Structure 1
């Protein structure tokens, strides 16, 4: 059996060619017309609207950040100029050029992770604990940037290490998410068994997602933020919560790094424990996103795919409690069992359109997922 597909965005033609008999070939053609908006394919039109909204979102974010951060930046610049003026007043023998050169060297060293005043606990940046923390930020794509390789060989090794480590980390995180999906599906099945007679399946799935989000916020944001706020001397609770969010979303701005304060006790152990927290937190973040994107009504990406009929059918089935699935190969049945149902289409090949009554023809079975 051979399938051929032809078409563009506006029209798709599917040709199903029956089993090739030496005498006659029989073809079945079906034409699917996709709806149009403003003279464009519906999915292209919606994607254009989304792209415009996204660019406006970026511009609005830039405007808000500019308004919020400009006064603070000017205040820091004023303090810096005041400190420089005071230094020049107290040390008139130091020329402006010498001071400028010194400041440039201090800034360069600070940008590469070397403290000009005093490193934390006098410990080097490339101890084993710190190096383990750095390697974890590389393979998880967090990349704080507070410490970077200084040597040419270190930079080359960092690129090779990231090329191998990032795919390995994605495989590891995906495997962990698949295992966490097992109790997650159990929770969804339990909610369906208790609330299925009262609420629609879509509402139950929203409740299920809400519970997963609460676990993420509580166990991986609020509680760790309280721990970091108690350990780090210069962090308040908002700083700690900000660090947890920036790290688990792999943004990794690098303005707050745990364990880099002066005289930090048990710094290597602290870095190793933080590394474990980052792996667990990113894993649960991926689990939450997986649960979110598996709800078709919340997945905006379905609006921009070309096969509108299948997408609408998927949304309809999800609303009816059918065809729900989390992860690869993790099928969910609303009745609580693991059995999956498939439809069987029988196609009969004939030598001509009007066969004789005594003529028999083979039957081919095709299973549609």
Structure 2
């Protein structure tokens, strides 16, 4: 029998490459005009500033801006005000960094500057990331049992609905509630707290964060003048952790509904062997696991007609005439 799994796997790779190419083309088409316009605005601002200050050397201004932008990339603001000199590595900010790093969100703001900090981050993440993902996965599976398996089992016993239909209805309701609780309602809160975020920006932040993409273009708690910034960042960390548990829960629900394991077997090189192993696992137990019955006794019993009286013939016992 020909194994088609390598062919399916090659088609899967080609489909993914095509998906990447299409995405790159659309992003380039959408973002390039805005980038061009922004470059023109910066160039115009640069020329106007030099015209108003002819005594200022262009080389010195370029060197100053380069150093200022480098410091800004390290999370240090160059603005000459009180908020500009806020400490970026206090305990709460460091807690926010560890939370976003171990959940693999990684906004990139801030990030370790010192060599010792980078080395510690390396070893800390090697242990911490699997530990965090393991906890999130276990929490999601426990919630899956409490929020899906038990309610569906109770409804299946009390109602006359098919179990598969109940699973789809329950999944639709549960996914809608989780989306409301961890995407749409938090987006309203972020829209209120963050002054320069629109609702779409806040919804975009929620999705980018909980999907662990973490582009870092929107980072909460970085505006100056926010009330109780430490408490706000701690609440954001809690939101991210519980939100990722909700995402894990949704993924488990969709996997069980769509039978992803059967679909993924199409692309494994050893899929035929795995199917045979599954069929073997479904075979009833061997005779050796049943109560012992002699082979000759079993076959002779099958051959005895129901009409024959036990007094005429006796199988599986010693003949009385030899006693």
- In the alignment, which of 39, 45, 64 is matched to residue 83 of structure 1? 45
Residue 296 (structure 1) shift: 4.8
| Structure 2 gaps, min length 5 | 299-323
Question: Which aligned pairs between 1:1-369 and structure 2 lie closer than 5 A?
Answer: 33=1, 36=2, 41-117=3-79, 120=83, 122-183=85-146, 184-193=148-157, 197-199=160-162, 201-299=163-261, 300-305=263-268, 306-308=270-272, 343-347=284-288, 357=296
The alpha-carbon distance between structure 1 residues 358 and 219, as it changes in their structure 2 partners (threshold 3 A), is closer
Cα distance in 1 for partners of 2:153, 2:99 equals 36
Task: Flag the structure with higher helix content.
Answer: 2
1:338 alignment partner in structure 2? none
Q: Given that residues 232 and 258 in structure 1 are in contact (C-alpha distance below 8 angstroms), is that contact kept between their aligned partners in structure 2?
A: yes
The alpha-carbon distance between structure 1 residues 214 and 309, as it changes in their structure 2 partners (threshold 3 A), is farther
Cα distance in 2 for partners of 1:259, 1:164 equals 27
The alpha-carbon distance between structure 1 residues 203 and 188, as it changes in their structure 2 partners (threshold 3 A), is same
Which has the higher Rg, Structure 1 or Structure 2? 2
Residue 182 (structure 1) shift: 2.1
Q: Given that residues 192 and 204 in structure 1 are in contact (C-alpha distance below 8 angstroms), is that contact kept between their aligned partners in structure 2?
A: yes
Cα distance in 2 for partners of 1:257, 1:358 equals 78
> Structure 1 length as normaliser, TM-score?
0.71
Cα distance in 2 for partners of 1:312, 1:280 equals 40
The alpha-carbon distance between structure 1 residues 178 and 342, as it changes in their structure 2 partners (threshold 3 A), is farther
| Structure 1 gaps, min length 5 | 1-32, 315-340, 349-354, 360-369
Task: Flag the structure with higher strand content.
Answer: 1
Cα distance in 2 for partners of 1:342, 1:180 equals 33
> Structure 2 length as normaliser, TM-score?
0.81
Across the aligned residues of Structure 1 and Structure 2, the Cα RMSD in angstroms comes to 2.7
